[in-house]
Structure 1
Amino acid sequence: MSQRTDSEKSQLHMERVEQANQALEQAVKSIAEDGYRLGYHLMPPAGWMNDPNGLIYWNGEYHVFYQHFPYESKWGPMHWGHAKSKDLVHWEHLPIALAPSEDYDSGETGGYGCWSGSAVDYNGVLTLVYTGHVDGRTPMEVQCLATSTDGVAFNKSVANPIIGAAPEEGGFGFRDPKVWQHDGQWYMVVGYGKDGLGKVLMYTSSDLLTWRYLGVAAESDGTMGDMWECPDLFPLGDGDDHVLVISPMNMGATKTMYLTGKLNYETGKFDYRYAERLDDGFDFYAPQTLVDGLGRRILLGWMNIWGAQMPEQVDGWMGAFTLPRELTLAEDGTLRMQPVAELAALRKGREFVDRQVIPAESIVSLAAIQGDQLELIAVFNTKGSSEEAVFGLLIRCSEDGSEYTEVSYSVAEHTLRVDRTRAGAGEAGVSEAQVEPMEDGSIKLHLFVDRSSLELFANNGVKTITNRIYPNGDSLGVKLFARHGEACLESLDAWKVSL
């Protein structure tokens, strides 16, 4: 069989993209905009969505790409879906950007595709760097490049693959390139693993096509998984501190971590001094960040997790992203994640609950606050609560009280919990995080509820818990409660939220 010309390769890619777009257009017609469909989060028009890819602020707009299978609501040969926004709130879906079409990202079985990667602006050209994956191919994973001048139609580089193999054999994975620029030079980190240790490999380039391997930037201490997916290494704060975000494989309940420290650009070594779980919920994976025109470091994550039940699949779609979160770094090296300020534009009809004592073993219904799309900010005072008190909120409550998601804080244990035992369909389980009261003794719980999701930001983003929940459509109530002692609510602000 003769080799295809570059023109023929480009034509084939365009045809594959067009086929995928046509399939997606047909699938969208059967999607009902109710049930578990989210109201103000980014999700696929139809089909499957996982990792966020190619987050970038380009020509005054936010662009988000994502791992996408447009033909079914299950994982398949990966394409790159594409959406853009001017405000991080209202999203416009664009045509599919990448489809498998070449020997380095397409194959005979389902285990192939244009896997995760990132985006940069190279002299005004929107440039995607991604992993081509083909099961059974040697090597199985390579790094590739595609470009666009209009931000919609992309052409794969004739130089692909730009990195044709991992630096040594015997590794576990070689994927998810994240590229950025520093002092006029390009840098890339790639997820990798070997000898049971998750690692991040680092490369450098002057033109995005020819890459020089610098070495292992960071690796596990033996307790942080055996392969580090979706690495993202970036500066944060006023000094020279850097943060490395990873999604470690085979680390039990911990699905994402962040490490803070110093990066030596000459040697490619990242010396980290602090490592912690990034989000304490069940449904948070493969986060990626961008820097916008205001200089903010903004993160989005996949609001699902591998292996979980996914009730929305029967409706012809699967997957969603978290709300955009602004990252800041505290002096002690810990990370803060807060919902971006633009989300306040979604608020409708504020309700306010003033200071009150919640008696022990009581549940207080809030008749004025109901809905499946809500923002809540509850401030409790631990100094005014009993030492043994457990207090919090019940969200998406059914009228008979049998269905709800419980958000609680234990004063004695300093433990924040989200309990999905009675949350409806899907997975159950309890998410936990240790949270110390703020200096004045308060616990601030900032919640976003969106039909089948719950995102919790505690004490101004010191801890976050992200979970999918699948209650019945008529479970709309919100309640306060206290157990084992009385609790003091300082205030509760509530808004209905919608686009």
Structure 2
Amino acid sequence: MRRQKMRLALGTRVEFWATSKEPNSDEFQFRVLQGDQLLWGVKRFSEFSEFYSYHHREAGDVEFEWDEGRTEFTWAYAYDPRSVSKTGITVLEFGERLVERTGSEIDGWCAADTQRPRLHFSPVRGWMNDPNGLCKVGDVWHLFYQFHPGGTDWGPMHWGHATSLDLCAWLHMPVFLRPEQNLARLGATGGAFSGSAFRDRDGKIKFYYTERLPAYDLFANYREVQKIAEPGRDLINAERITTVLEIRPEGVKHDFRDPKVWWDEAANAYRMILGASMYGDPAVLLYGSDDGLEWQYLGLLYRAPVNFREEGARAVECPDFFLLEDKWVLVMGFVGHIEAATRRHNLLYALIGEFINDRFVPDTPELQLLDFGTDYYAMQSFEAEGRQIAFAWLFNWEYRKPDGSAYSGEMSLPRVLSLSEDKKKICMLPAIEVDEHYVAIPLAMDQSGGYSLPGRPIEIRLSGSLQDSKLVATTGGELAFEVGVVDDILSIRLAQDDGSIEYVAELGSGQDLRLFHDCGIVEIFADGGAVCGTRRGYVNIEPDRLEITSSARVEVFERNPE
């Protein structure tokens, strides 16, 4: 057994997820001691990942006792509820000794991982997917996200939480939502699925989200219900959770999720959309309510053309619907969809139009592809300070993060959404905070048109005609990424690509391009943000050489936090 002291303030909470390597042990596998007094303990952990919470009663030193040979702690932290909003959590590692890390110590530990991107948010440990509950309260930006603390693969869903003062540097917070049942013990999946923040007319923040009840099949026969989580002080914990919608409309099977709620001035009532399928076609459902608690089905907001079902799309997920300038915008992901022409998976689409009398009328039925690279998925946007800001999950199931990492999953750079001058396209560009937080250091070009890269994040800017431009980054002479423009088509290729999928977009006469590369992440913004492409690679992720051929003006920068 290991034993080590730690000083705890009055009211400190220690929370962790653990499993037993010897589930039949008769001895205490974990104890909190004060001298010879047992304050709290776990007699035996189970073979399943389970959540445990200790609430410290008095300020002072305690001793933790554990056996790292018999117990696996997948995620552990401590926090003082009175100060955690300022300091973040203290991450705990119960190994041969107890290691504590807070704030900059967590950042330093993460930065020491050479495989971890530096400009993009990632969890300290565990699996992360969709952004959730994005909002700003006072001076603080809040990012919630789908999280599995039991390992680095997708599993029973929780909500992780981080805060920031500038959208770039993040403090890690306690887990905000957990499944209503211990799904690992049930041999089931499910849990607290995706949702969004909503500020009520009294100014209170609430979170509408989907709970997937215990599920034993990932593709059929599961049950999803809609809930409200009402947070406590500083949005640290969900103090009250209420189920508000369980009944599905006729024609809707198991997919019934990811609520987005707003107060509709025209209807003088609440409105909510949900992702679903209607008789097999991906669809977005519209609901109404007078009080935000009792909801009535109002009909379909959108139903996808039949080709999506024929091309494998099972449902709409993570729908977003918002007013941008003077137009309504609908954003959707089609889960399971494979585009016939290019073989791209799970693309993100948008429509621009009018929303009148609870009917969405697109200006054109043609869907806009928001990101041609496929690794920008489950986008969620929110309005703050007069801007529509968005994050997305940088992942697609085509490729997986190599084994051995402490975590899996990153978020995109924060993007600001706008409409093109003719209001026919949605444009996305990095938020100004990216330029303010990450210093741009120019890199010198040699006579061959090449650059020696610093092994850190870079940004490439092209201004002028992009036709026949070519950017090739290599690691030890092997391809890392290649971006080119030929016959008005913008394309990207990574080292891991075998050519079976085409990552392309029509660029037209675009005169500008920005590219960020961060440890295997490529984010492209062209033609004023009207054409965007995002890829996440895991091969040759630290290029040391860049060759650029272009008639446009070229600038290359190293990007570092201030």
TM-score normalised over the length of structure 2: 0.74
What's 2:67 paired with? none
Query: How far apart, in 2, do the equivalents of 1:349 and 1:260 lie?
Result: 35
CA radius of gyration, larger in: 2
Query: How far apart, in 2, do the equivalents of 1:187 and 1:33 lie?
Result: 46
- 1:279 paired with 2:371, answer yes
What's 1:402 paired with? 478
Query: How far apart, in 2, do the equivalents of 1:392 and 1:139 lie?
Result: 47
Cα contact 1:69–1:77 (8 A) shared by 2: yes
What's 1:54 paired with? 133
| Equivalent position amino acid for 2:192 in 1 | C
- 1:370 paired with 2:444, answer no
Give a deviation string over 1:394-444, Cα, whole Å, max 9, x none: 23x224x2232111111xx21111111368xx9995421110124xxx3x2
Query: How far apart, in 1, do the equivalents of 2:493 and 2:541 lie?
Result: 19
Select the residue among 179, 184, 187 that pairs with 2:261: 179
Select the residue among 193, 197, 200 that pairs with 2:284: 200
> SS in structure 2 opposite 1:213?
strand
| Equivalent position amino acid for 1:119 in 2 | A
> Which structure ranks higher in relative contact order (CA pairs < 8 Å, sequence separation ≥ 6)?
1
- Counterparts in 2 of 1:219 and 1:96: CA distance versus 1, 3 Å: same
> SS in structure 1 opposite 2:243?
coil
What's 1:8 paired with? none
What's 2:58 paired with? none
Query: How far apart, in 2, do the equivalents of 1:74 and 1:296 lie?
Result: 34
Query: How far apart, in 1, do the equivalents of 2:120 and 2:163 lie?
Result: 13
- 1:121 paired with 2:206, answer no
Select the residue among 300, 305, 308 that pairs with 2:399: 308
What's 2:46 paired with? none
Q: CA deviation at 1:344?
A: 0.7
Cα contact 1:203–1:211 (8 A) shared by 2: yes
Instruction: Supply the RMSD in Å over aligned alpha carbons.
Output: 3.1
- 1:231 paired with 2:310, answer no
Cα contact 1:216–1:269 (8 A) shared by 2: no
Select the residue among 315, 320, 337 that pairs with 1:251: 337
What's 1:154 paired with? 238
Q: CA deviation at 1:380?
A: 4.5
- Percent identity between matched residues is 27
Q: CA deviation at 1:134?
A: 1.9
- Taking the TM superposition and a 5 Å limit, the aligned residue runs for 1:257-268 are 257-264=349-356, 266-268=357-359
- 1:130 paired with 2:213, answer no
What's 1:457 paired with? 525
Cα contact 1:115–1:133 (8 A) shared by 2: yes
For structure 1, the residue ranges without an aligned partner over 5 or more in a row are 1-11, 482-486
Cα contact 2:454–2:558 (8 A) shared by 1: no
Q: CA deviation at 1:26?
A: 3.5
- Taking the TM superposition and a 5 Å limit, the aligned residue runs for 1:322-337 are 322-330=412-420, 331-337=422-428
Cα contact 2:256–2:274 (8 A) shared by 1: yes
Query: How far apart, in 2, do the equivalents of 1:141 and 1:422 lie?
Result: 36
Give a deviation string over 1:79-129, Cα, whole Å, max 9, x none: 0001111211111111100001259x8982231201111111233433111
Give a deviation string over 1:7-60, Cα, whole Å, max 9, x none: xxxxx9x99474886277449999673232111211111100001111112223
- Counterparts in 2 of 1:67 and 1:108: CA distance versus 1, 3 Å: same
TM-score normalised over the length of structure 1: 0.82
- 1:22 paired with 2:76, answer yes
Cα contact 2:513–2:524 (8 A) shared by 1: yes
> SS in structure 1 opposite 2:347?
coil
Q: CA deviation at 1:169?
A: 5.1
Cα contact 2:376–2:534 (8 A) shared by 1: yes
Query: How far apart, in 2, do the equivalents of 1:18 and 1:125 lie?
Result: 28
| Equivalent position amino acid for 1:38 in 2 | P
Query: How far apart, in 2, do the equivalents of 1:344 and 1:80 lie?
Result: 29
What's 1:415 paired with? 489
